Structure 1
Amino acid sequence: MKQSKALQQDFTKQLAKLKLVADQLPAAIIVHCVVDLHVVYMNQPAMDAFGIEEHQISELNKEGNQASYFNTIERVDYIQQIHCLIQQNTEDMVCYFQQIRNQRSLAWLLFVSNTKVFYRNSTGEATYLITTSNNLEQVQHFSPKIVRMVDEMSFLQANNPLFLKLTKREKEVLRCIALGMNSGEISNSLFISPATVDTHRRNLRSKLCLKNNYDTVRFAQAYNLV
């Protein structure tokens, strides 16, 4: 009991040192408890990114609210990576992209984040993590590859609701069109009639708001159909 209390006091001291400089650092900084990854501290840049005040941090920790703050699909992937980091008990860090939603503007912002162990208990087990994040939209210069990646992630975020409406067959037809196949070739490949192919083409144009072949190829590439 005494040891646990002493460790908590030591952690509190370490956190106090971080707080002295955290608001001046050029990054959003978040400290999480390992147990359930709930937030115990956010610096001002982090709260500004989320569009919340200090008293609202507890709302962010509620599991039912995660969809309001994070892209829940991609969150599953990087949370998994963070859990692996904890289990491996190393000094390595996990680097990942994440989209968060500002609660004031309701805009989605793209961040590059790094998470590592911030504090360990007396047996060396991780008890707290620290995450630093930078808003990619505020970076002045990107390599062409990063520009394409950011653009693709924005495209996915904007078009996920449309793509999720597609049937399995419509996705197959979309892939064929992106590969440059005509209606006859698609008909032979998928064993459906040319009239059915044409119906799928019309449905795809309507559902995805496609204007030209470039839009078709972009959807297929973004969702790994080709």
Structure 2
Amino acid sequence: MDQDLEQKLQGIRLIADELPSAVIIHEVVTLQIIYMNRTGLNALGTTFDEIKTISPEAYHAKYFNAEDSNEYVPKILELIKGGNQEQVSYFQQVRILDNKEWQLFVSNTKIFARNHTGEATHLITTASKLDPTHHIITKVNRLMDEVSFLRRNSLLFATLTRREKEILQCIAIGMSSTEIGAKLFIAPATAETHRKNIKNKLGLKNNYDAVRFAQAYNLV
């Protein structure tokens, strides 16, 4: 290991176990974890020896919500490439201590070490669990739920025609087929046929589902 890197690691080890946040250091190329403090290991309910026995892919699959990575991985890649940002911040859903429910963490990542050519070789991340009683948790969870809904249903929504999107908007605000027909200058029977087609395409079970689609895709 590079002497400068080892010195930096020694400095981290001296204080990291006293910090309230998890501290994790990854190799950039392999994504292998080379260090995690006691706070992080205790939160995951594991040991560093166990962490070393599994691949980075298995590690992320076991502890992290894969959908989140679509949001923060591009930010980290930009950081590695030498973008203008010195660090990136993001939310992560983490499964801790074999808990079936995701726990929300706020994480910060920055470059920890570079080689002689200036390329990033290691990243350091701090991760802090958010207090589940804090009012922001409800808002963040709602936002992340909406993002997840968009990812799951984008292909379904894309099957709707322009007219069907107009009618979905009307359904979401509680209009009847007769009212939709009058607004869009189509027969009520035609509006009802569109309603049925939309229901089948999106798998809608009730009006709440229609409202959720309309809200998620900015129709209302």
Report the counterpart of residue 86 of structure 1 in structure 2.
80
After the TM superposition, which residues 1-226 of structure 1 pair with which residues of structure 2 at under 5 Å, given as runs?
A: 8-58=2-52, 61-63=55-57, 66-88=60-82, 92-102=86-96, 104-136=98-130, 138=131, 141-142=134-135, 147-154=138-145, 163=153, 166=156, 168-169=159-160, 172=165, 174-184=168-178, 185=180, 188=184, 193-200=190-197, 207=203, 210=206, 213=208, 216-222=210-216, 224=218, 226=220
Structure 1 CA distance for aligned equivalents of residues 30 and 185 of structure 2: 49
What is the deviation of 1:38?
Answer: 2.5
Structure 1 CA distance for aligned equivalents of residues 152 and 34 of structure 2: 37
**RMSD of aligned alpha carbons:** 3.8
5+ unaligned residues in a row in structure 2: which ranges?
none
CA displacement, residues 106-146 of structure 1 (integer Å, 9 cap, x when unaligned)? 2212221111111222333321111111222x265446xx6
Query: Given that residues 69 and 103 in structure 1 are in contact (C-alpha distance below 8 angstroms), is that contact kept between their aligned partners in structure 2?
Result: no
Change (3 A) 1:85 1:140: same
CA displacement, residues 163-208 of structure 1 (integer Å, 9 cap, x when unaligned)? 5795633994654433554435279499993333443576599x56
Structure 2 CA distance for aligned equivalents of residues 51 and 107 of structure 1: 15
Which portions of structure 1, spanning 4 or more consecutive aligned residues, are displaced by more than 6 angstroms? 189-192
Structure 2 CA distance for aligned equivalents of residues 190 and 18 of structure 1: 69
What is the deviation of 1:87?
Answer: 1.1
Change (3 A) 1:175 1:13: farther
Structure 1 CA distance for aligned equivalents of residues 29 and 151 of structure 2: 33
Change (3 A) 1:180 1:209: closer
Change (3 A) 1:174 1:204: farther
5+ unaligned residues in a row in structure 1: which ranges?
none
Change (3 A) 1:162 1:203: farther
Structure 1 CA distance for aligned equivalents of residues 176 and 133 of structure 2: 43
CA displacement, residues 62-92 of structure 1 (integer Å, 9 cap, x when unaligned)? 3256333322233033111111111116671
Identity in percent: 38
CA displacement, residues 37-72 of structure 1 (integer Å, 9 cap, x when unaligned)? 332211222223334332231366432563333222
Aligned residues: 213
